[in-house]
Amino acid sequence: MGRVGTSPPDIGNLSFLVSLNIIRKKSFSCSILDNLARLYRLELLHFGFNDFSAIPSEIGNLQNLELLDITSGSFAGSIPLEIFNISTIKVGLNSFSSLIPNPVGNLRFLRLINLASHCSINGNILREIGNLSSLTSLLLDNNQFTGPIPMTMGKLHKLEALYLQNNKPEASNELTGGILECMGNLNSLRNLYLAFNQLTSMVPLTLWNLKYILEVNLSSNLQDGSLSIEMGNMMILRILDLSRNQLSRPFENFSAASFMSTGMNIAIKVLNLQVEEAFKSFDVECEKWLYSHNHYLNILQRLNIMVYIASALEYLHYGYSTTIVHCDLKPSNILLDQDLVAHVADFGMAKLLDYGSKGIISPRGDVYSYNILLMETFTRKRPTDHIFSEQMSLKSWIEESLLVLSVTNIIDSNLLCNERDYASMEELISSIMRLALDCCAESPEQRINIKNASDTLRKIKLQFL
């Protein structure tokens, strides 16, 4: 049973308290808030499903507080500026009606603002918000913001998540204007949600510069015109929703649902390549280029493809705040566009590897898979080829050939027929196969990482050229 009455005044004496979680204690009075300023070691403060009516500004004096979560409370009135001294703020599902305090733009250490989920906050989004240079997440969805998205948002270079959807619960309250060209500068952005607003004009070309974005939802706006083929630059895109806009053919009904018929593995895994002109920059899977009699890749094209793949894996492993492990790297998940640029696709099995994870998922698994890709690309032999058995694997076959200096035995016969400089090709293939063997040591700890593999492959390419 929850405690009845007011909280004891001596709660402020718990000076070593670092976490305070008061959820569903509706009989607590506001006196508990009056003593919080004395808990100077507090790092986490969570008030959920309570009857407190106002946020005391003294909370902002808790210098060690890293997370304030007052989601699903009964707080109303104004939002005190002092709470924005905290690096992470979550205040969704309350009844605030005032604007975000104007001086908030001076707080350069603020990392996450979550004012989402029907806080009823109105007015324009402050242009000063662009001064929050440490901001990684900005969640202002499901409110009553009006007017345009401020140009200053293009300065938030560390921003990874931007949620502004559904800011028109009333006819007079809606985000208007266009999607800013400066959003193409947000190179750290992973999630962009602008749905259910009144955003007009064409989608800016600069938006497709966000090559490493994972989710884009622009649905239910007034976007018009056509879309650039440059949208194919979004190499690891998982979710794209452009439905319920005013786009011209072939994208007028473009949405995840309308492209689900064949389940092609095109990064977001919802596109049908047979739809008229849609994503025609994606040509075919790498597997079909390698194993079809109708296609031929010369040695430089194969080398470039493997450099592209290594670069993509290097970004997944090192270019994001959380390591992404693909877990299913294989030729059928590598897509080649019209310029034979390789795109790593199908992230259905991908995992976000938390810092300190003790599980078996590891980036070294991707490195091992990359080794198999290297071997397949230049030998045109699958690990399951009929010539292999328990006594002879693809790896041991290559090891043996390198030992006896008989590289021509393992090179794809198409290369032998079409390449003229045998000596250079043998030296190149030998270097690549030695790199592949470094990637597939039995112990994951002994394998080189993808960054080293990528650097080595680039050096091999320079020597070949």
Q: Could you say which DSSP state residue 170 is in? A: B
- For the beta carbon of residue 166, count every other beta carbon within 10 angstroms: 20
Task: Judge whether residue 259 has pLDDT over 50.
Answer: no
CA–CA gap between residue 59 and residue 7 (Å, rounded): 17
- Calculate ∠ Cα 156-160-162, nearest 5°: 80
Identify residue 314 by its one-letter amino acid code: E
Domain boundaries, given as residue ranges, for the chain: 9-282, 285-464
Architecture (CATH level 2) of domain 9-282: Alpha-Beta Horseshoe (3.80)
**Which residue is it, tokens 């607590």?**
28
pLDDT confidence bin for 158, thresholds 50/70/90: very high
Per-residue pLDDT at 189: 93
Task: Judge whether residue 337 has pLDDT over 80.
Answer: no
Task: Judge whether residue 339 has pLDDT over 70.
Answer: yes
Q: Which of these CATH numbers, 1.10.510.10, 3.90.1150.110, 3.40.120.10, 3.90.1300.10, describes 285-464?
A: 1.10.510.10
Per-residue pLDDT at 4: 40
Task: Judge whether residue 107 has pLDDT over 80.
Answer: no
Q: Is the peptide bond before 8 cis (omega within 30 degrees of 0)?
A: no
Q: How much is the pTM?
A: 0.50
Task: Judge whether residue 425 has pLDDT over 60.
Answer: yes
Q: What is the pLDDT of residues 365-383, one digit of tens each?
A: 888 888 888 988 888 888 8
Which range among 167-171, 180-184, 323-327, 357-361 shows the weakest confidence by mean pLDDT?
A: 357-361
Which range among 42-51, 168-177, 250-259, 357-366 shows the weakest confidence by mean pLDDT?
A: 250-259
Q: Which of 453, 465, 290 is nearest to 370 (CA)?
A: 453
Task: Judge whether residue 63 has pLDDT over 50.
Answer: yes
Which range among 37-46, 178-187, 248-257 shows the weakest confidence by mean pLDDT?
A: 248-257
Torsion of CA 32, 36, 39, 45, to 10 degrees: 90
Share of the chain above pLDDT 70, in %: 66
Higher pLDDT, 250 or 219: 219
Beta strands per DSSP E along 198-341 = 200-201, 215-217, 222-225, 239-241, 246-247, 282-285, 323-325, 334-337
Q: Which of 168, 132, 130 is nearest to 150 (CA)?
A: 130
